[in-house]
Amino acid sequence: MNPENKLIITVTTANSWIYPEAKNWPTTVDELIDDVVKSYEAGAAIAHVHLIQGYEKEIVDLIREQCDIIIQAGMSSDPIEERQALFDARPDMASIILNHHDESFTNVQVYRLHTRDELEQYCKKCDQYNIKPEWEVWNTGSLWNLRYLIEKKLVKPPYFLSTFFNWPGGAWSPPDPDEFFLRRKYYPPESIYTVSCMGPEQTKIAILAILHEGHVRVGTEDYPYIKEGVVAKNNAEIVARMVRISRELGREIATPSEARKIIGIPSI
C-alpha cells in the first residue's frame, strides 16, 4: 500500500471529562510516558498529550528518548499567553481551536473566546518555533476561520485538521454521516483530517473516516471504553482495537515516520 494512503492513529492520553468514572488514564509523568510508549507500540503515530504544568519539556524529552511518535501538545482551551511553556518544550505539533470553546462536561464547564487575532498570533508563534499547527475543527465556522488564515498567507499546507463530533456544549455537532460529509465538503484543498468523537458513536465516525481518506483519533480523553459498558485497560488496548478495525477494512496503519511525511513534519 502507498504510505500516503495509510491510516494515522492519534492517541489522546488525558482524562475523560465526560466519563470520569473510568479512571483508566495516566496521572503522573512516569505513567504518561509509559502510556504513550505502549500506545506507540500498539500502532499510534501521534500522541495528543496534555503536558503537565512544570514538566512540559521533560515530558517531550522523555518521550523522544524512547520512541519517535509525533508529539502533539494539547489544551487548546488555554489562551496563547498561558502556553509559552508548550512552545519552549518544542513538541512536533500544537493544538489550536479555530473557534470558541463552549463545552459542558460532567464536573466542568468551559467557556473561552478565541479571536482571529489570537489565531494570527498562533500562526506566527508556530512558525517561529517550527511547530506544526493541529487545527481543531468543531463546525463549518471553524473552516471559515482557517480559510481566513490561508488567504492571509499565515499558514502553509498541508493543513492538519482534527474535526470534532459529539463533544457536549455549545460547540456540539451530531455524530452522524450527514455532519461528517458536510464538514468534509468544506475542507480546504491540501487538508489532512482526523476525526474525534465522544461516546459510543466513535466507531461509526471512525469507520467513515477510514473509508473516506481520513484519519482517526482515539483514547481516554475522547472515549475511555473498549465498547459500551466495558472500560479499556489502557490506551494501548484502545489503539489496538482501531488497528484491527482499519485492517479489516483494508487499510494499513502509518508508522510515525510515514505520518511525518504525510503531515509535513521533519524527522527527529
- Give the model's pLDDT for residue 188: 97
Give bridge partners of residue 166 from the DSSP assignment: none
| Residue 100 amino acid letter | H
- Give the model's pLDDT for residue 102: 92
Name the residue ranges covered by the structural domains of the chain.
3-263
Q: Which three cell numbers stand for residue 264?
A: 509535513
- Give the model's pLDDT for residue 36: 97
Written as tens digits, the pLDDT of the chain (268 aa) is: 666 799 999 999 998 999 999 999 999 999 999 999 999 999 999 999 999 889 999 999 999 999 999 999 999 989 999 999 999 999 999 999 999 999 989 888 999 999 999 999 999 999 999 999 999 999 999 999 999 999 999 999 999 999 999 999 999 999 999 999 999 999 999 999 999 999 999 999 999 999 999 999 999 999 999 988 899 999 999 999 999 999 999 999 999 999 999 999 987 6
Separation of CA 191 from chain center: 15
- Give the model's pLDDT for residue 266: 82
CATH number for the domain running over 3-263: 3.20.20.70
Are 17 and 106 within 8 A, CB to CB?
A: yes
- Give the model's pLDDT for residue 12: 97
- Give the model's pLDDT for residue 4: 78
- Give the model's pLDDT for residue 1: 60
Are 99 and 114 within 8 A, CB to CB?
A: yes
- Give the model's pLDDT for residue 227: 86
